[in-house]
Amino acid sequence: MTGVVGGRRVFLDANVIIEAFRISVWTELAAGHYLETVEECEKEALTGRTDLHGHVAVDPVELRAGLKASHLVNRKMRNKLVNTHRSCLGMDPGEGDLFAYLFASYDPLPPLIVVSSADKGVVVRAKA
């Protein structure tokens, strides 16, 4: 976690990215933190459910300008997560990939990692 310029590393899921765009704070958030996600969360944030009332359009150029990294997650990383942490089985794809990346990249996890997710399943599983 060394060498991070611009604040603490923050790992975001699609829900948080969308909310940051909805309330127009993405640029300020990106200016103060080292924002990271995984490709699945980025894809979810950019596509979303356009048929739902209140859909928030996320600008791809602005999103990528604010992200310091969007990590690729592979099957090996996903398998490691569910084999090590059975409670993560069945997690939504974006959140699952976010945790798969973290658990595959850090063994053990650093004492403090910031993961921002509005998904109830993540909160329940993170406590396990």
Res 6 pLDDT > 60 = no
What domain count does the chain have? 1
Q: Is residue 34 part of a domain?
A: yes
Q: Is residue 108 part of a domain?
A: yes
Average pLDDT value for residue range 91-105: 89
Q: Is residue 2 part of a domain?
A: no
The secondary structure of the chain, three-state, reads CCCCCCCCEEEECHHHHHHHHHCCCHHHHHHHCEEEEEHHHHHHHHHCCCCCCCCCCCCHHHHHHHEEEEECCCHHHHHHHHHHCHHHCCCCHHHHHHHHHHHHHCCCCCCCCEEECCCHHHHHHHHC
Give the per-residue pLDDT at 118.
61
Q: Is residue 24 part of a domain?
A: yes
Higher-confidence position of 84 and 79: 79
- The tens digit of pLDDT for each residue in 14-69 reads 988 999 999 999 999 999 889 999 999 999 999 876 677 778 889 999 999 999 99
pTM recorded for the entire structure: 0.81
Q: Is residue 1 part of a domain?
A: no
CATH of the domain at 111: 3.40.50
Amino acid at 10: V
Q: How far apart are CA 30 and CA 81, in angstroms?
A: 28
Confidence band of 91 (pLDDT split at 50, 70, 90): confident
Domain span at residue 70 reads: 9-127
Q: Is residue 28 part of a domain?
A: yes
Which pair of structure tokens corresponds to residue 127?
A: 């406590």
pLDDT, the chain, mean: 83
Q: Are 37 and 70 in contact (CB under 8 A)?
A: yes
53, with CB counted inside 10 A (0-12, 13-18, 19+), is exposed
Res 113 pLDDT > 70 = no
Q: What percent of the chain stands above pLDDT 70? A: 74
Higher-confidence position of 119 and 91: 91
Q: Is residue 107 part of a domain?
A: yes
